[in-house]
Structure 1
Amino acid sequence: MHQKADHRVPVLIVGGSLVGLSMSVFLGRLGVRHMLVERHSGTSIHPRGRGNNVRTMELFRVAGIEPDIKAAASLLADNHGILQTPTLVGDAGEWLFKQIDPGGGLARFSPTSWCLCSQNDLEPVLLDSARELGGDLRYFHRMESFAQDADGVTATVLDRTTEERCTVRADYLIAADGPRSPVRHALGIGQTGPGDLFANVSVTFRSAGLAEVVGDRRFICCYLTHPDADGALLPVDNKERWVFHAPWHPEHGETLDEFTEERLQRHISRAVGVPGLDVEITGKASWRAAERVADRYSSGRVFLAGDSAHEMSPTGAFGSNTGIQDAHNLAWKLAAVLAGWAGPGLLDSYDTERRPVALATSARASARSVEHSHPGFAPAPGVGGGKRGGILNVVLGYRYPHGSGPEQPVVPEGLNLTGEPGTRAPHLWLRRAGQRLSTLDLYERSLVLLTDAPDDAGWHEAARRIADTDGVRLDAYRIGPGADADLTYDTEDGDWAKLHGTTADGAVLVRPDGFVAWRATGAVPDPQETLRQALRTLLRTA
């Protein structure tokens, strides 16, 4: 059957929303040919999913699109914090938090920061980048069926414009096809978790008078707590375009048809506290918040990513960020396996690394919804009772299992990025040929070995030989203040070895996704064989 396929690509992506498009960008950056099919005719038109956390922005920075995203997000660049208040009239209410990074402490950990960019503004940036990188992106196309065998996947795709069908043969299929994922259902993969949490009707509207009521309160979101008209208000341009999330209770028999334009106008004006406020409804969409995680992230040559793999409460914007980071984790592994420098077993680590992160993160998202008293959320006993507090450790500090020493919690109590295997490598400002860059900017297309300059311990030379003889994509950088360094310090007090938990005679191996794979704390008798064995273990080529 597959010998007669109309198209042959290494990877077929099903779903062209945030996660599918991010996957296309990441694969394109790594030179992996792919096709993406999306049943809708274009990118999202509804302003939702706006919070892009610092880890996601690190990935977009390395992918070269951070400036474009910040430009697309410029209207909300000065919006920070979440306000909770019974009315916007006067100065009632309290800030649940006013700044996402009070005191600017995040700069110690990352070269970038959070970015408030709505999905309808972010997706076009991703789409442009994906196409520039050579992605074959086909909107208004639907995958109707697929079958896999030992060598690949054959899919039937319908062009919804012409009603013509074609077959696509791929080595691997990635399902980024949303929470109701037809691919996940076809694979018979179940889900774990409490299930539906609450439902909202999301309304876009125009109001010329609302900006004056809001005044200079530049919030990300405002939870309005009027007992008869609660909801969440989000600015789109801080002037006249807004979004309101009104609680919807289908469990009580309430239907979407009951949310008439007149009812919504009345609800919004009452929630804001201004009777007769000018409210012009411009759009309406329903959504349900849920906490579910797929029981498996893969079956054979098919992988789940994004909402098809996990659903989580919107508080904290964890869902889309977790999905984009799924895509980044999987992209480099697919690229390595397809290029032959890693064994197929490397792909098994996608489930063992990403699924525990989703379980821990989804529980934290529900806990944050309880903590913030999200409108419409009346949690069942036992739901949302997890650990609360800050989110930076959830966003940047999550760990992957690494097989050396006792495993620690997926999400640690605090943020302590010290170069430990299984954690995101530390950020340090360096210079290369006069240009300032972060250590995180080094990690994308290859494995990277960091050593001290001049590296008398022999690690650098060992890495060069292995790259030449073993066919592994491995770059090696010597860091130090002297002329023999490949990378020099941006400040006089730089100490890469101390920051990465090693010594000047040691070495640190970092994966293309920026996670530490292995480190040696000092010199060894045979650095080449020691490094080669570490690579075999990581890449499953042993």
Structure 2
Amino acid sequence: MNARTVDRIPVLVVGGSLVGLSASVFLGRLGVGHLLVEKHSDTSSHPRGRGNNVRTMELFRTAGVEPLIHEAASVLADNHGILQAEDLTGGHQEWLFKEIDPGGALARFSPSGWCLCSQNDLEPVLVRQARELGGDVRFGTELLSFEQDADGVTAVLRSREDGSQRTVRASYLIAADGPRSPVRQALGIGQSGAGDLFHNVSITFRAKRLADVVGDRRFIACYLTNEQASGALLPVDNREQWVFHAPWHPEKGEPLEAFTDERCVEHIRTATGVPDLEVEITGKAPWHAAERVAEQYSAGRVFLAGDSAHEMSPTGAFGSNTGIQDAHNLAWKLAAVLSGWAGPALLETYGEERRPVAVATSQRASARSAEHRHPGYDALPGTGRQKNVLAVALGYRYPTGAVLGADPEAPAVPDSFQSNGAPGSRAPHLWLRRTGERLSTLDLFEKSLVLLTGREGDAWHAAALQLADQRGIPLDAYRISDEPGHELAPEPGADWADAYGTAADGAVLVRPDGFVAWRSTGSVPDAAATLGEALDAVLRRSA
């Protein structure tokens, strides 16, 4: 490697799309120095990847960016549901579901909600936030090569603007470089799964009169099933800018060049049922739906995240959300190891936890595409509709990994959503009061481990403060009760111990990513010794 100078950084992030940029934000919030490189010259200009589920929005809430995302997404704030219709003018129409959160029931479980924000609107928000947090984000810069040894990763980067090269030395590398990940290929990591499912061409276009045809049907997407021209119609601004996903069959020898402007215009007119619709094609981008998961999520000091680790059918937006949640899981572990309060073996739990979630979620995504009869996908749906998408969004869990007391035989994604504070699951949401301030339990989890106790948890509380000081572990402790001097009070009617599956004298240890690491259902003879052993096991600290 003959670049003149070597720049040293804790983490190198390769790929500046949703997952890489989210990783940058999460690392920045934790004070981890990093460099992000993206080969393209700017963020995505194509409206895609728009569905941000409730768990992803919780993560963005904790990272302080949720209000900015809602602002960027305001034009589609009233769009809900998936419509299926032969065309937009006929009578054969069916809502596959009309409301994402009918009746507002989700508020029982989360301070956040689903958010429809297209990738081209979301990515600039993440770029600004990442840079404000100190992230070195560089577009138009590509990874040429990398080598790793026991102490770090040496990478050669090239500016695509002037061809200049630089060498960086990073402690760790995150590869968020897409489904055809050059980093994954260089590592020789294989993939498993069903493989290619179907192919579409995403067509952006303007059609001023289409809003009159759509009327008050404010859908997220409309699957148009006309036998002569099927496809999916998605609004961009509900007025004149739209996206149409047209089936494409490269496996039958159909070239991408066959999608001329003239063909696309006629396809859209036929699919919508408006033969004289004025259509202006503004862009085209092919995309491929697949079900693949990397056989391993890391090799040495290099970690895969997002599409480099897993490909999923787009129905339900499971892929982008799973990728952002990958980045969140990995960020706190890198911060802990780099800061010295966790052992290096903690990083081995990243793939142990995230890969089973991806395998289960990718299968759910494929099944949902079949259920919705996504244009271009010929698979037959299974019996019945998927009832509990919340189990995928909020109910995924880690049966093994940096957790103690979880059921190792439990599925990573259950059939139904349960929120009970069990080890390996997302910590339940409860509204609390702190000196007049209203906050969620989820607002407590980001930059430290957190020990929650109740009315009779003074021994646990004292043990946590003692261990944090003795061992140099960022560990916050909160007693949740109406007792004077206790740090947090539950809102009237809320029972913290019941929600977290413990008793008034029990304790729950929550990780920085908001997952329950360990739980004691009651008091023990030596709280400090018991909690200390749990911390060492979760953080992979040597005795």
Structure 1-normalised TM-score?
0.97
Alpha-carbon separation, structure 1, partners of 2:408 and 2:38: 43
- Paired residue type of 1:409: P
> Alpha-carbon deviation of 1:310?
0.1
- Paired residue type of 2:414: P
From 433, 439, 442, the equivalent of 1:440 is 442
- Paired residue type of 1:299: A
Is residue 58–residue 112 contact of structure 2 (8 Å, CA) maintained in 1? yes
- Per-residue deviation, residues 127-149 of structure 1 (Å, max 9, x unmatched): 00000000011100000000000
- Paired residue type of 2:110: S
> Alpha-carbon deviation of 1:385?
8.4
Residue matched to 1:520: 520
Alpha-carbon separation, structure 1, partners of 2:356 and 2:255: 36
Alpha-carbon separation, structure 2, partners of 1:113 and 1:315: 18
- Paired residue type of 2:393: V
Residue segments in structure 2 that go unaligned for 5+ positions in a row: none
- Per-residue deviation, residues 350-391 of structure 1 (Å, max 9, x unmatched): 010000000000000000001000000013x8x978983321
Are residues 1:372 and 2:404 paired? no
Alpha-carbon separation, structure 1, partners of 2:409 and 2:107: 28
Residue matched to 2:361: 361
From 386, 389, 392, the equivalent of 1:388 is 386
Residue matched to 2:261: 261
Residue matched to 2:473: 472
Is residue 404–residue 538 contact of structure 2 (8 Å, CA) maintained in 1? no
SS of equivalent to 2:226:
coil
Alpha-carbon separation, structure 1, partners of 2:467 and 2:89: 67
Alpha-carbon separation, structure 1, partners of 2:540 and 2:454: 27
SS of equivalent to 1:437:
strand
Is residue 318–residue 362 contact of structure 2 (8 Å, CA) maintained in 1? yes
SS of equivalent to 1:95:
strand
Are residues 1:135 and 2:129 paired? no
Taking the TM superposition and a 5 Å limit, the aligned residue runs for 1:40-55 are 40-55=40-55
Is residue 447–residue 511 contact of structure 1 (8 Å, CA) maintained in 2? yes
> Alpha-carbon deviation of 1:92?
3.2
Is residue 444–residue 513 contact of structure 1 (8 Å, CA) maintained in 2? yes
SS of equivalent to 2:535:
helix
Residue matched to 1:324: 324
> Alpha-carbon deviation of 1:521?
0.4
Residue matched to 1:119: 119
Is residue 333–residue 347 contact of structure 1 (8 Å, CA) maintained in 2? yes
- Paired residue type of 1:390: N
Alpha-carbon separation, structure 1, partners of 2:525 and 2:3: 51
Alpha-carbon separation, structure 1, partners of 2:183 and 2:417: 36
- Per-residue deviation, residues 269-305 of structure 1 (Å, max 9, x unmatched): 1100010101000011101100000000000000000
Residue matched to 1:505: 505
Taking the TM superposition and a 5 Å limit, the aligned residue runs for 1:412-451 are 412-451=414-453
- Per-residue deviation, residues 40-89 of structure 1 (Å, max 9, x unmatched): 00100000000000000000000000000000000000000000000101
Taking the TM superposition and a 5 Å limit, the aligned residue runs for 1:3-14 are 5-14=5-14
Counting matched residue pairs gives 538
> Alpha-carbon deviation of 1:432?
1.2
- Per-residue deviation, residues 216-257 of structure 1 (Å, max 9, x unmatched): 000000000000100000000000000000000001110111
Is residue 5–residue 169 contact of structure 1 (8 Å, CA) maintained in 2? no
From 396, 399, 407, the equivalent of 1:398 is 396
Are residues 1:35 and 2:35 paired? yes
SS of equivalent to 2:287:
strand
- Per-residue deviation, residues 499-519 of structure 1 (Å, max 9, x unmatched): 100001000000000000001
- Per-residue deviation, residues 173-221 of structure 1 (Å, max 9, x unmatched): 0000000000000000000011110000000000011000000000000
Of all paired residues, the percent bearing the same amino acid is 68
- Paired residue type of 1:361: T
- Paired residue type of 1:313: S
Residue segments in structure 1 that go unaligned for 5+ positions in a row: none
- Paired residue type of 2:466: R
- Per-residue deviation, residues 424-481 of structure 1 (Å, max 9, x unmatched): 000000011211110000000000000114634x000000000111011100001111
| CA 1:76–1:429: 2 relative to 1, 3 Å | same
| CA 1:194–1:418: 2 relative to 1, 3 Å | same
> Alpha-carbon deviation of 1:489?
1.7
Taking the TM superposition and a 5 Å limit, the aligned residue runs for 1:220-259 are 220-259=220-259
SS of equivalent to 1:513:
coil
Alpha-carbon separation, structure 2, partners of 1:28 and 1:2: 30
- Paired residue type of 1:426: P
- Paired residue type of 2:485: D
Moved segments of 4+, more than 6 Å: 1-4, 383-387
Structure 2-normalised TM-score?
0.97
> Alpha-carbon deviation of 1:409?
1.2
Alpha-carbon separation, structure 1, partners of 2:22 and 2:389: 23
Are residues 1:314 and 2:301 paired? no
Residue matched to 1:459: 460
Is residue 2–residue 169 contact of structure 1 (8 Å, CA) maintained in 2? no
SS of equivalent to 1:41:
coil
Is residue 364–residue 384 contact of structure 1 (8 Å, CA) maintained in 2? no
Quote the RMSD (CA, aligned, Å).
Answer: 1.5
